[in-house]
A and B are shown apart, each in its own frame.
Chain A
Amino acid sequence: MSLTPLDWLIIVLYLAGCMVAGLWMRRYVRGVEEFAVAGREMDVNLGIASLAATELGLVTIMYTAQLGFEKGLAGASVGVIMAFAFWFVGRTGFIIGPLRTAGVMTIPELFEKRFNVRVRWLAGLFVVLGGLLNMGIFLRLGGEFLVWATGMPPSWLEWVMTILLGLVLLYTALGGMLSVLVTDYLQFLVMGIGIVITSVLVLVNVGGLDLIASLQAAWQGQAGMKLNAHPFNPFHESSLGTGYLLWMVLCQLAAATTWQTVISRVLAAKDAATAKAMYRRTSFYFVGRFLLPGLWGAAAFVYFAQQGGLPEGTTSLTAMPQYLGALLPVGIIGIVIAAMLAAEMSTDSGYMLTWATVIYNDLISPCLKRPLSPSGRLLLTRLLVLGIGVFLLFYGLWYEMPGNAWDYLAVTGNIYLASVFTLLVAGLYWKRATARGAYAALILGAIGPITFLLIGKQYSIPPEVAGAAAFGLAALGMIAGSLLSPRPANQA
């Protein structure tokens, strides 16, 4: 499927609108407070739009569709768990309430108040390490979608990725969180329309009942391709399995309370009540975030099964965009490509800004003998955004994932999810927690995921073992380290 002039017109109009809106907001940036947390002026509905746009990238659509292709609709169970985690946190204010009330700009900043500056620095290092490795595959997967959905030559992938990243860098580095919020809003609208249209067209194309019957036939080995996992029951041993789902409960609760790109919306909210309302109202969105692209992936499986198998060169990751390229009519594919570009841009901008803020706020700032001037801080944060963009381009081109995309993302996120989640829970709710316990939790929590990334492929370490071990080791480190050191000064 190649794009027609009408499709290109839709895409160019969308990109131009985004750039104008993003650059327009630059005039309201006067300092780091506005650049990093939008002057803490964000209200609940803008928070929902921004959170939804940032946490649904083209990479999300690719890995959730891959889960749908490989595991049927059961692959979307992670989204159901994620929705419950967000609803629970929004209902109780667990962690996010005291975090917003503390008035910090990043999570590690809280650790200086609770423990000491060295804990803040070490936590900042793990947050950045996990975050950047996690983001490293975003551009590659986004580029893969565009190549397979539009039929463009694969040799264009690097150039398309570079131009797309350049556009995002321009408005993110100049306007910071203010530009990110406004462009997120536009991207939320375009993305939502694209996802609804695509889902309806997929359901019309394969037929809901036919899809279910075809997946069952494929699971029973009576179709053109064999589905190796139970397509509907996630607890079945061939599917995700109970152990994996239990790891996901812990992982998603930690992600909802410590994933810095999500938390940056909490910290930009007007107050804790606004942050909690934003979580509650966004929670069901996360079901669709996994289920609707998962539906496209499952439909792609049925489509290729009817064709007798995957064409040469097509994988479980690239089957969905290839299927959409064949399915979507002229004009609609332009809207869907614009929607996917919106998904990619909103995620890239939010993530680059977040990690740049943590690097400045928690790694560089504590090491400075004299604080920088406000304009110096702003310039340095902007340069960090640009530096992260360059890193993304090069890392995305050469790193090869051990396993499927979702497991890579979950495990790299786990590098800091387990340790920082443990520090937050202990720091906010356990008065006996000490800095020594915090060091032990940070280091032990990162061992499991880093081991998986380095040797997981050779030794077939299941991701749930690496992930769950990280949480167990981090908790053990925090408890043992704290009990083996003197009580904190205010507890003595």
Chain B
Amino acid sequence: MKDPFILFWAALIVGSVLWYGFLVFYVGIKAGRDIIQMIAALKRDHAASDRR
């Protein structure tokens, strides 16, 4: 059990599960906001090109 490779993979498995959970929560909120801002920017660009 004290094989360094086993400890390495065990730590990475725990880290990956926690990281995926965090990413879904944190990036989920932030990326949702990014989408709203992206649509707003596209609308602005379209309105500007229509005026030209």
Q: Give A residues with C-beta under 8 Å from B.
A: 28, 30, 34, 38-39, 41-46, 48-49, 52, 73-74, 76, 80, 178, 181-182, 185, 188-189, 192-193, 195-196, 199-200, 203, 208-209, 212, 232-233, 284-285, 287-288, 291-292, 295
The proximity string for B residues 18-33 relative to A, scoring 1 for CB distances below 8 Å and 0 otherwise, is 0111011001101111
CB closest chain-A residue, reference B19 = A284
Question: What are 16 contact pairs spanning A and B, CB under 8 A?
Answer: A34-B42, A39-B41, A42-B34, A42-B38, A44-B34, A45-B31, A48-B23, A52-B23, A188-B31, A193-B24, A195-B20, A287-B15, A288-B20, A291-B12, A291-B16, A292-B17
Inter-chain contact B38/A46, CB cutoff 8 Å: yes
Tell me the bound Cα distance from A76 to B42 in angstroms.
41
CB closest chain-A residue, reference B42 = A28
Q: Inside 8 A of A209's CB, which chain B residues have their CB?
A: 1
Inter-chain contact A48/B31, CB cutoff 8 Å: yes
Inter-chain contact B24/A288, CB cutoff 8 Å: no
Question: Which 4 residue pairs across A and B have the least CB separation, nearest first?
Answer: A288-B16, A192-B24, A45-B30, A46-B34
Tell me the bound Cα distance from A113 to B23 in angstroms.
38
Q: A185-B31, A292-B13 are in contact. Are A192 and B42 (CB under 8 A)?
A: no
Chain B interface residue count, CB cutoff 8 Å, equals: 33
Q: Give B residues with C-beta under 8 Å from A.
A: 1, 3, 5-6, 9-10, 12-13, 15-17, 19-21, 23-24, 27-28, 30-35, 37-39, 41-43, 45-46, 49
Known: A44-B34, A49-B31. 16 other contacts (CB 8 A): A28-B46, A34-B42, A41-B38, A45-B30, A74-B5, A192-B20, A192-B24, A193-B24, A196-B20, A209-B1, A285-B19, A285-B20, A287-B15, A287-B16, A291-B16, A292-B16
Tell me the bound Cα distance from A285 to B17 in angstroms.
10
CB distance from B13 to the nearest CB of A (A): 6
Per a CB cutoff under 8 Å, which of A38, A49, A181 touches B27?
A49
Per a CB cutoff under 8 Å, which of B6, B23, B30, B49 touches A192?
B23
Tell me the bound Cα distance from A76 to B11 in angstroms.
13
Per a CB cutoff under 8 Å, which of B5, B23, B42, B43 touches A233?
B5
Q: A48-B27, A292-B17 are in contact. Are A232 and B42 (CB under 8 A)?
A: no
Interface centre among B9, B15, B46 (most CB of A within 10 A): B9
Inter-chain contact B38/A208, CB cutoff 8 Å: no
Q: Inside 8 A of B15's CB, which chain A residues have their CB?
A: 284, 287
Q: Inside 8 A of B24's CB, which chain A residues have their CB?
A: 188-189, 192-193, 196
CB distance from B3 to the nearest CB of A (A): 6
Inter-chain contact B37/A43, CB cutoff 8 Å: yes
Q: Inside 8 A of B1's CB, which chain A residues have their CB?
A: 209, 212
Inter-chain contact B31/A199, CB cutoff 8 Å: no
Tell me the bound Cα distance from A240 to B47 in angstroms.
56
Q: Inside 8 A of B35's CB, which chain A residues have their CB?
A: 46, 181-182, 185
Inter-chain contact B20/A287, CB cutoff 8 Å: no
Q: Inside 8 A of B12's CB, which chain A residues have their CB?
A: 76, 80, 287, 291
